[in-house]
Amino acid sequence: MALTSDAGDEEERRTRLCEEFAGLTRTDNIVAQCYLAENDWDVERALKCFFDADMEKVFEKSLSHQEPLTKNQTVEEAKAPAPVSIDLMADSPGSSPQPPKDIDSGSRLTLISWNVDGLDTENLAERARGLCSYLVLYTPDVVFLQELIPPYVQYLKKRAVSYLIIEAGGEGGYFTGMMLKKTSVKLLESQIVPYPTTRMGRNLLMAQVTLRGAKVWLMTSHLESCKEHSGERMKQLREVTGQMLKAPDDVSVLFAGDTNLRDAEVVKVGLPIDVCDVWERLGRQEHCRYTWDTHANSNKSLPYTSRCRFDRVLLRPAAHPRVIRLDPDRMVLVGLEKLSCGRFISDHWGIYCSLRTTVNHTS
C-alpha cells in the first residue's frame, strides 16, 4: 500500500509540475512533460532548456533573413556567412522610435523601466533589438527590467557592453534586472530582498550606487500578478516603501518597476509622506498614464480592453542638508511604435524618466 501511495503522490507532483511549466511557457502539458522528463523533473533546468532552445530558434530565424544585393556587393560577399554577433545596439529594421527633443544628460539622472515580456518568445530577437534601439536613443543611466529570461540577459550582456547588468533570481523561469551605465553609475553593493509570503517567487532587487556625486539606492521589482492576489501585492508595496525609508537621509532612493498595482490598492496602503509617485508629482500627465493598454497594444490579442498604470516610479529624495538630491523632471512612454514584425517590443509600454540632481540647501 505504501508503494501505491508513493506512486500516486509522485504522479500528482509531476502533474502539478507540468501544469506549472505549461503556464509559464504558454505551451501544453505534452511539451511540458517532454522538457521536464529530459531534465529529471527539475523545473528550473527544464525552463532554462526551453527558453534557450526557443530563443536560439528565434535568433536563427533572424540571422537567416537575407537582404538583397546592394549596388556594389558581389555574389561571393552575399554568400558569405552572416556574422554570429548581432549588434543589438543598432536600430531595429522597421522601427522608428523618436528620441526626445532634448535628451537629458549631465545634471540629470535618466532611467528607463520596462517589463519586456521575455516569456513571450515570438519575435523576441527583433523585440530585443528594439529595446536596445531605445538605449541608443535615450542613453539612460539606469535601466530597470522585469520578466527577463536567461537567454535575454545573456544576449544583452553581449550586445549592451556599455552597461553593467545585475539580476535577481526567483520567479520560476523569469526575473528582474538592472542595467547600470558604466560611464556614469558606480555600483557599490547589491542585494535581493525576498517577499516572505509571495506565491510567485517575487522579490526586490536593490543596488547602492553613486551617480554624478549623488548617493542613490536603486530598486526594482515585479509585484504579484493578477487581480486575486491583491492582498499579497499590497504587502509587497509596504515592503518596498519600508525599504525606501531605511536609507540614510543623505541618500536618494529610486524605485521603478512593474507593480501590477491598481489605484485603489495604492490608496488603501498609502505612500509614506517622504515617498512620492513621480507621475503624480509631475502633474498626472495623461500621455503617460497607462503603461498597460490592451486597446492600443495588440501583442496579447486579448478580447477585452484594459488600461492600467501598472508600471510606476517612486522617489524618496535625500533630506540631509548640503547633499545632492533628486527631483522629478519629466516622463514619457516609450515603445509605442510597432516593429517590422508587426508587434511591439512588449505588451507593456516602457517608461522614460529624468530627475534633476540639485544640491539640498536646507538647514
Where residue 361 falls among pLDDT bands split at 50, 70, 90? low
Contact predicate 187/164, CB 8 Å: yes
- DSSP assigned state of 149: -
For residue 112, which of 323, 257, 275 has the smallest C-alpha distance? 257
E strands, the chain, where? 108-115, 142-148, 163-167, 175-181, 185-194, 203-211, 214-221, 252-258, 276-277, 292-293, 307-308, 311-316, 324-334, 350-359
Active site residue 258: yes
pLDDT digits (tens, 9 = 90+) for 329-341: 999 999 999 999 9
pLDDT digits (tens, 9 = 90+) for 347-357: 999 999 999 99
Cα(213)–Cα(157) distance, integer angstroms? 26
| CA neighbor of 115 nearest in space, from 282, 338, 351, 341 | 351
pLDDT confidence bin for 29, thresholds 50/70/90: confident
Higher pLDDT, 69 or 312: 312
First to last CA, the chain: 76
As a whole number, the mean pLDDT across the chain is: 84
Q: What is the pLDDT of residue 297?
A: 96
**How high is the pLDDT of residue 362?**
55
Show the domains of the chain with their CATH numbers.
2-64 (1.10.8), 108-359 (3.60.10.10)
Instruction: Taking residues 247-255, report their average pLDDT.
Output: 97
Annotated active-site residue in 117, 258, 293, 311: 258
Helix, coil or strand: residue 228: helix
Instruction: Give the gyration radius of the chain's Cα atoms.
Output: 22
Q: What pLDDT, on the 0 to 100 scale, is given for residue 138?
A: 93
- For residues 20 and 73, give the distance between their C-alpha atoms in angstroms, rounded to a whole number: 50
Is 82's pLDDT higher than 80? no
Question: Residue 189: which residues within 8 A CB-CB, separation 6 or more?
Answer: 207, 208
